[in-house]
């Protein structure tokens, strides 16, 4: 019998029961998870994650923005580590798999190496990035961004959630205000496994997507400034209702998405806050969070330009002022050809069906790719449903990707 692989691979049962155990922590309302960053549920998950990591002999360090690094020494331990990981926080109505399978796939890799008593040449590290989702503290991916030097640490620590709670204080409250400096050290390579969050792999019944790039994404917060006034007697021509201005802009952004629908462009208004946002009074302030995405960077730039061009018109019609509060972008990053090749070779060697794919979501890997050779592996999720409690992944369709991760990481760490 010709064997494609002399190793037995990871322990799929153990891996999946670990994913299911995580799925007990921070339950949502409809069978999924609501495990927001820096909440008690996040702390419970982090504590358990650290227990699992120390059980396989890792030392654990937490940096100043709460990123957790579990380190497995290498035979040549002075060399920069090969890093694996993703995130354990979820959306408000999140699934049990988004981010989580990536972190726990890395854990399963460490457990497998521990079983085999196998020492890699380079050290391995498994990371859980803080607040990837940006659900509680926006923008998303702040902690991997800080690690990559994109966001200043103090700026991240000062972010506030909707209740005014401060990122740094909440980190301290759950005991994850670590002492380790954020980033600023050598990383040999970073591998992130993640569910696709789109329908392609599931539809084609292909278990492994080799992520060759991402949709160019341009996001922004727009502040809308109006004036409070009585909802009754104030004549229409004297109204400066920030909520209305924001609503007009929301429609304009959505229309831009439709305009580019034929080429898979997307424009999203994900969030609108208004103040005082009460009955009987016009709002003097609103903020809109939106982004545009396209596979082709120049088209994404064009979409962004169209959003910006819509702003003065919406502001005029609503008689309010609009200004850009902040902007961000990701998805221009190209993943490292060498790391991508290792993933492809691993899939071929293991006989795992695979295809190249673009990521349409944001991932910590984007920011990390700015400072270290990086690649991503996608695994299927049913119907592409994600950021929904109905998100679902199957053990049988996920395990092949974890085996590919194991092989790629071993090849990189032993070279
Ligand atoms: Zn994710």
What sign for the dihedral angle of Cα 363, 106, 61, 77?
A: negative
Q: Which residues pair with 195 in a beta bridge?
A: 379
Question: What band does 8 get if pLDDT is binned at 50, 70 and 90?
Answer: confident
Distance from the alpha carbon of residue 284 to the mean position of ligand 1, in angstroms: 35
- Contact present, 268 and 288 (Cβ < 8 Å): no
Distance from the alpha carbon of residue 362 to the mean position of ligand 1, in angstroms: 8
* Whole-number Å distance between alpha carbons of 98 and 401: 14
Question: What band does 334 get if pLDDT is binned at 50, 70 and 90?
Answer: confident
Tell whether omega for the bond before 308 is within 30 degrees of 0, i.e. cis: no
- Contact present, 392 and 381 (Cβ < 8 Å): yes
Distance from the alpha carbon of residue 214 to the mean position of ligand 1, in angstroms: 14
Question: Strand 266-275's sheet: what is its strand order?
Answer: 266-275, 285-294, 216-225, 321-330
Question: What band does 183 get if pLDDT is binned at 50, 70 and 90?
Answer: very high
Distance from the alpha carbon of residue 319 to the mean position of ligand 1, in angstroms: 39
Question: What band does 390 get if pLDDT is binned at 50, 70 and 90?
Answer: very high
* Whole-number Å distance between alpha carbons of 325 and 385: 31
- Which residues are within 8 A (CB) of 407 and not within 5 positions of it... i.e. 6 or more apart? 342, 346, 349, 350
Question: What band does 190 get if pLDDT is binned at 50, 70 and 90?
Answer: very high
Distance from the alpha carbon of residue 406 to the mean position of ligand 1, in angstroms: 20
- Contact present, 384 and 323 (Cβ < 8 Å): no
Question: What band does 322 get if pLDDT is binned at 50, 70 and 90?
Answer: very high
* Whole-number Å distance between alpha carbons of 383 and 202: 6
Q: Which residues pair with 328 in a beta bridge?
A: 219
Distance from the alpha carbon of residue 114 to the mean position of ligand 1, in angstroms: 27
Distance from the alpha carbon of residue 84 to the mean position of ligand 1, in angstroms: 14
Distance from the alpha carbon of residue 91 to the mean position of ligand 1, in angstroms: 9
Distance from the alpha carbon of residue 116 to the mean position of ligand 1, in angstroms: 30
**Model pLDDT for residues 124-138, shown as the tens digit of each residue:** 999 999 999 999 998
Q: Above 60 in pLDDT, residue 4?
A: no
The mean per-residue pLDDT over the stretch 212-219 comes to: 93
Distance from the alpha carbon of residue 98 to the mean position of ligand 1, in angstroms: 5
Largest CA distance in the chain: 86
**Model pLDDT for residues 153-172, shown as the tens digit of each residue:** 999 999 999 999 999 999 99
The mean per-residue pLDDT over the stretch 238-249 comes to: 98
Angle between helices 40-55 and 12-22 (to 10 degrees): 160
What sign for the dihedral angle of Cα 224, 225, 227, 233?
A: negative
Distance from the alpha carbon of residue 99 to the mean position of ligand 1, in angstroms: 4
Helix intervals (H) in 219-377? 242-259, 297-318, 337-350, 364-368
pLDDT at 213: 87
Distance from the alpha carbon of residue 394 to the mean position of ligand 1, in angstroms: 17
Distance from the alpha carbon of residue 194 to the mean position of ligand 1, in angstroms: 7
Question: What band does 7 get if pLDDT is binned at 50, 70 and 90?
Answer: low
Distance from the alpha carbon of residue 34 to the mean position of ligand 1, in angstroms: 13
The mean per-residue pLDDT over the stretch 183-196 comes to: 98
Distance from the alpha carbon of residue 290 to the mean position of ligand 1, in angstroms: 18
**Model pLDDT for residues 87-113, shown as the tens digit of each residue:** 999 999 999 999 999 999 999 999 999
Q: Above 60 in pLDDT, residue 3?
A: no
Question: What band does 2 get if pLDDT is binned at 50, 70 and 90?
Answer: very low
Averaged confidence pLDDT in the chain:
96
* Whole-number Å distance between alpha carbons of 228 and 247: 17
Distance from the alpha carbon of residue 311 to the mean position of ligand 1, in angstroms: 31
Distance from the alpha carbon of residue 164 to the mean position of ligand 1, in angstroms: 25
Percent of the chain at pLDDT exceeding 90: 95
Distance from the alpha carbon of residue 95 to the mean position of ligand 1, in angstroms: 10
pLDDT at 121: 98
Distance from the alpha carbon of residue 162 to the mean position of ligand 1, in angstroms: 21
Q: Above 80 in pLDDT, residue 5?
A: no
* Whole-number Å distance between alpha carbons of 257 and 401: 32
């Amino acid at each position: 019998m010709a064997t494609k692989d002399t190793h037995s691979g990871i322990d799929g049962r153990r891996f999946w029961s670990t994913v299911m155990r995580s799925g007990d922590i921070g339950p949502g309302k409809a069978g999924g998870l609501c495990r927001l960053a820096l909440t008690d549920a996040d702390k419970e998950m982090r504590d358990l994650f650290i227990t699992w990591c120390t059980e396989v002999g890792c030392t654990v360090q937490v940096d100043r923005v709460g990123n957790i690094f579990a380190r497995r020494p290498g035979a040549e331990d002075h060399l920069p580590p090969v890093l694996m990981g993703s995130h354990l926080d979820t959306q408000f109505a999140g699934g049990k798999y988004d981010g989580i399978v990536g972190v726990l796939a890395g854990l399963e890799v460490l457990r497998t190496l521990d079983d085999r008593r196998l020492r890699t040449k380079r050290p391995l590290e498994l990371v859980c990035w803080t607040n990837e989702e940006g659900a509680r503290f926006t923008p998303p991916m702040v902690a991997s961004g800080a690690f990559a030097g994109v966001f200043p640490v103090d700026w991240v620590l000062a972010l506030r959630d909707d209740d005014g709670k401060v990122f740094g204080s909440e980190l301290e409250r759950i005991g994850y205000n670590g002492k380790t400096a954020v980033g600023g050290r050598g990383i040999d390579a970073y591998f992130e496994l993640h569910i696709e969050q789109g329908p392609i792999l599931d539809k084609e019944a292909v278990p492994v997507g080799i992520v060759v790039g991402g949709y160019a994404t341009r996001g922004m917060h727009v502040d809308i400034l109006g004036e409070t006034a009585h909802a009754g007697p104030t004549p229409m021509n004297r109204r400066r209702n920030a909520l209305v201005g924001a609503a007009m802009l929301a429609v304009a952004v959505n229309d831009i998405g439709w305009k580019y629908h034929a080429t898979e462009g997307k424009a999203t208004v994900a969030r609108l806050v208004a103040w005082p946002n009460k009955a009987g009074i016009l709002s003097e302030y609103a903020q809109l969070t939106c982004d545009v995405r396209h596979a082709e960077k120049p088209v994404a730039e064009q979409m962004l330009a169209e959003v910006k061009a819509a702003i003065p018109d919406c502001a005029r019609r609503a008689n309010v002022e609009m200004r850009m509060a902040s902007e961000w972008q990701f998805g221009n990053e190209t993943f490292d050809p060498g790391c991508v090749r290792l993933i492809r070779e691993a899939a071929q060697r293991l006989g795992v069906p695979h295809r190249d794919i673009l990521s349409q979501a944001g991932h910590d890997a984007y920011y990390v790719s700015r400072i270290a050779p990086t690649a991503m592996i996608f695994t299927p999720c049913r119907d592409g449903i994600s950021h929904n409690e109905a998100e679902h992944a199957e053990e049988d369709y996920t395990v092949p990707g974890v085996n590919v991760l194991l092989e790629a990481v071993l090849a990189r760490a032993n070279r």
